[in-house]
Structure 1
Amino acid sequence: MNAASPASDSASASAYHAALERLFARTGGAWRLGLDRVTELLARLGDPHRRYPVFHVAGTNGKGSTVATLDAILRGAGLRVGRYTSPHLVDFAERVVVNGEPMTHAAITEWLVGHEPLLTELGATFFEATTAMALSYFAAQQVDVAIVEVGLGGRLDATNIVQPVAAAVTQIGFDHLEFLGDTLEAIAGEKAGIFKSGAAAVVGDTRPGIRDLLQQRAEQAGSAPVLVTGRDWQVEEIVVDAQGTSFTLTVDGVTRRLTTPLVGQFQAHNTSVALALLRSAGGRWADIEREAGRYLPSVRIAGRFHRTPPWLFDVAHNADGAATVVANLLSVGAPHPITAVVCVLRDKDWRGILQAVARAAERIIVTMAPTAPANRTWNLDDVMDWAVVEGLPVVRRDDFGTALTEAQVGAATVLVTGSFHTVGDAMERLQVDPLAR
């Protein structure tokens, strides 16, 4: 077979980008949460999501790490695993992955073009269309199991169409307040909407009040069994270093020492949630959990304490995430001086993020990520006025490429953080593959 000609490659790339442009156009206007459209859409597609078991994961912080850990364990056990996450860093195809391989551009183009009339007829949103594509692709690829990450909230998120074998809610934080509520309790209530009757539930938040609320919601939903951190398992003796995070996990009086290559105190808890998902599902899943220590070394997660010296990438799009990055920098002894390149979306707590980053970085360069949505870009005049009053070591470089170039001058470590757009744009310019092992 002859290799594709440059002209055909160009035509394929053009068709892919055109299909994505039409898909992203579906993000226009107000968010339209709810399950009616995606239910009808998947019904018209033959309900592909019912052809394989699903693990469902929600949470403000930690869900990405939990998904990545579960993916590594299940693949290590020899299963064919579909993984659906959002958003992407560099390429849209990162969202839909089977056994570590992203959905091909050709397959994405074919699905979007082929189903565009149906998507338009039903008024499907960007995320509903993408979710339906992912769930259909997993069926076509005959996966043994899929891991599905919630996009926004839980109760009304398009992914809540799945009937999982087990669902987990990780740590709750303040995010998307306009949709989920302005208290941790309200946000937790929305995320608890993924708990379903007859499916196992895992409560991963470590704070007693939120943990109790999530447990109550799971029991009210008819979930069984319900496993709760601190009650049904304990995580202790956490040690973080440059090689990862080790900890002691105790379940039913049995103690194991486990290590994940993910760096950070809370990665011990995220790992424990992934293991609890397997235990709660029982049967063959619980059998896999007992061997999980063998598979943890292969865990990888794009854009989360992702190290390519001198660069260190972490999306850290809220103050809690930024504080975690700083703690991890201290734990691994990242070489100084540290320069941080930061761009935060205006609806995020950029003040809290910059205050956290300033605890580790000798210099902070604030900039504008090229792909940041125009209606959500932060105002650098406001940022600089505030930084001067706070006495933070902040300089402004509006051009993103200039910020990356200057960041390397005199720095032993360059941290890129603030949003998926910031990290993804930097990885693309620096030619760092987010899915590389």
Structure 2
Amino acid sequence: MASISPPSQSAGLQAWLTYLEQLHPSAIDMGLDRVREVANRLRLTQTRAEVFTVAGTNGKGSSVRYLETMLREADYQTGVYISPHLNVYNERVRINGNMLADADHVAAFAAIERARGDISLTYFEFGTLAALYLMQQHELDAWILEVGLGGRLDAVNIVDANVALLTSVGIDHIGFLGSDRTGIAREKAGVFRPGRPAICGEPDFPAEVAVAAQQQSVLLQQVGKDFHYRLTTDTTWQFRNHDTMLNHLPLPQLPLPNAATAIAAIAASNLPVSDKAIRAGLAQAREPGRLQFIAAGPQQPVDSLLDVAHNPHAAQFLTQAIALRYPQRPVYAVVGMLHDKDISGTLAALAPMVTQWYFASLSEPRGASSLQLLEQKPAQAQVAGCFDNVAAAYAQAQQDAATHMQQQPHAKPPLVLVCGSFYTVGKIPTTE
């Protein structure tokens, strides 16, 4: 690859992001040697903060948000690193709940550039190192780090977690993680550390991986075994583990299983959090693109729900969540996906609650065309049309749903669902 020159530090953030995209011959390059060497040069993994590392096929983003809101309510100083972003790169790093300015990211990129020398880094690796650099500029009580892909060989794993979370284990990224749940679970469990807590929110966690973790002295806590949760009313739920019973907790907007996993992680950490802070954090937790409800208003006549579900596991959970939260409402589904995802499996998981489909092409690299989605649609699916882009599909779904409301004013109002990819959801304008 030809050598390219880095932007100046006075260049804008977009110039640096473009530069990062050109640095490495592949977007994904599993392994920690290169990224660890650069981190060691800047001592980026050395921190007094309590480190929470969050891995899993689905549910990472909401788990991170729960941890952040509950810890913030307890007056702890927090740093968060997530990926990918939905709208702007700045979303990837939050300090005390706030995004940072472009100039902060540019300064971090420049520091990593100076330190790396001739070591080649992927876009994600460079961004991860920059995030750690930014967190070290603040006196933080907690680092909350979301794994990008897998766990064992993910760049985030250069930092030893005080508490590791594994939210779920599904079939995804088979080219990198393996084609069976046991192999994928083993890769994700690579963020566990001997002698430290590992909180597993996957109820069907492969037994052989659990045994191997415990043989390595990991302090594994599993849902349904070491901690439990259940709905007690339509609006409240209960959490309990060996030491704690929390009753009448508010039902959160984000997925409940991840709330329970986050509470278990906080309970296992070295950061005491009061019941009051837990309740307040649960009530406040919101994450763009995860069960994000947008009420009808001047810009759209019908309620919408945005969710980045992009594999069968996430789609099944989304179907269950809609049945629970929006029962018997007709669902007009706008779907755009990447072609290397399990399209047929994802659409099949969504099918039980979709009234009408609107397939949209994605123009991004790896984006599937609407015709590719149509070819893999479930049997008996009612397809309103195939569209060149998400905006057109969304506009038509809103129009059709509004017509439905006019024709059946006394029926349950319809819901326009947008899902299938971060790229799909990110194209819907919101005021949040």
Q: CA deviation at 1:346?
A: 0.9
Take 2:372 and 2:44, find their aligned partners in 1: how far apart are those partners? Answer: 49
User: Which of 220, 224, 227 lines up with 2:221 in the alignment?
Assistant: 227
- Answer yes or no: is the 8 Å Cα contact 2:289–2:306 preserved in 1: yes
- Answer yes or no: is the 8 Å Cα contact 1:227–1:280 preserved in 2: no
Report the equivalent of 1:4.
none
- Answer yes or no: is the 8 Å Cα contact 2:24–2:121 preserved in 1: no
Q: 1:20-78, CA deviations, whole angstroms, 9 ceiling, x for partnerless residues? A: 11122346426211111111111111235424221111111222221111111100000
Q: 1:187-239, CA deviations, whole angstroms, 9 ceiling, x for partnerless residues? A: 000011111123222222101xx25334323323332x332222222222365
- Answer yes or no: is the 8 Å Cα contact 1:343–1:419 preserved in 2: yes
Structure 1, 77-86 or 245-254: larger mean CA deviation:
245-254
Take 1:92 and 1:261, find their aligned partners in 2: how far apart are those partners? Answer: 30
Q: 1:315-361, CA deviations, whole angstroms, 9 ceiling, x for partnerless residues? A: 00111211222222221226744321110111111112222333222
Q: Does 1:380 align with 2:378?
A: no
Distance 1:122 1:256, change over 3 A: same
- Answer yes or no: is the 8 Å Cα contact 2:78–2:142 preserved in 1: yes
Structure 1, 288-297 or 88-97: larger mean CA deviation:
288-297
- Answer yes or no: is the 8 Å Cα contact 1:166–1:277 preserved in 2: yes
Take 2:128 and 2:337, find their aligned partners in 1: how far apart are those partners? Answer: 26
User: Which of 413, 417, 420 lines up with 2:419 in the alignment?
Assistant: 417
User: 1:99-248, aligned counterparts within 5 Å?
Assistant: 99-119=96-116, 121-207=118-204, 210-223=205-218, 225-237=219-231, 246-248=236-238
Q: Does 1:326 align with 2:319?
A: yes
- Answer yes or no: is the 8 Å Cα contact 2:112–2:129 preserved in 1: no
Take 2:345 and 2:150, find their aligned partners in 1: how far apart are those partners? Answer: 22
Note the aligned Cα RMSD (angstroms). 2.5
Q: Does 1:276 align with 2:264?
A: yes
The amino acid across from 2:265 in the alignment is L
Take 1:151 and 1:86, find their aligned partners in 2: how far apart are those partners? Answer: 6
| Count of aligned pairs | 405
- Structure 1: any 5+ residue segments left out of the alignment? 1-10
Take 2:245 and 2:237, find their aligned partners in 1: how far apart are those partners? Answer: 10
Take 2:268 and 2:211, find their aligned partners in 1: how far apart are those partners? Answer: 17
Q: Does 1:353 align with 2:346?
A: yes
Take 1:115 and 1:206, find their aligned partners in 2: how far apart are those partners? Answer: 40
What secondary structure, in the 3-state scheme, does the structure 1 residue paired with 2:293 have? strand
Q: Does 1:89 align with 2:86?
A: yes
What secondary structure, in the 3-state scheme, does the structure 2 residue paired with 1:408 have? helix
User: 1:307-322, aligned counterparts within 5 Å?
Assistant: 307-309=293-295, 310-322=303-315
| TM-score normalised by length of structure 1 | 0.86
Q: CA deviation at 1:114?
A: 4.4
User: Which of 2, 13, 17 lines up with 1:16 in the alignment?
Assistant: 13
Report the equivalent of 2:3.
none
Q: 1:151-202, CA deviations, whole angstroms, 9 ceiling, x for partnerless residues? A: 1111111000111211121210001111111110000000111111232222
Take 2:181 and 2:258, find their aligned partners in 1: how far apart are those partners? Answer: 19
Distance 1:142 1:414, change over 3 A: same
The amino acid across from 1:368 in the alignment is S
Report the equivalent of 2:289.
303
Distance 1:337 1:234, change over 3 A: closer
Q: Which has the higher helix share?
A: 1
- Structure 2: any 5+ residue segments left out of the alignment? 1-7, 296-302, 402-413
The amino acid across from 2:224 in the alignment is G
What is the percentage of aligned positions where both structures have the same residue? Answer: 32
Q: Does 1:80 align with 2:77?
A: yes
Take 1:136 and 1:97, find their aligned partners in 2: how far apart are those partners? Answer: 13
The amino acid across from 1:99 in the alignment is N
Q: 1:226-271, CA deviations, whole angstroms, 9 ceiling, x for partnerless residues? A: 322222222223655xxxx63222223753224355347xx33211
Take 2:196 and 2:333, find their aligned partners in 1: how far apart are those partners? Answer: 43
| TM-score normalised by length of structure 2 | 0.87
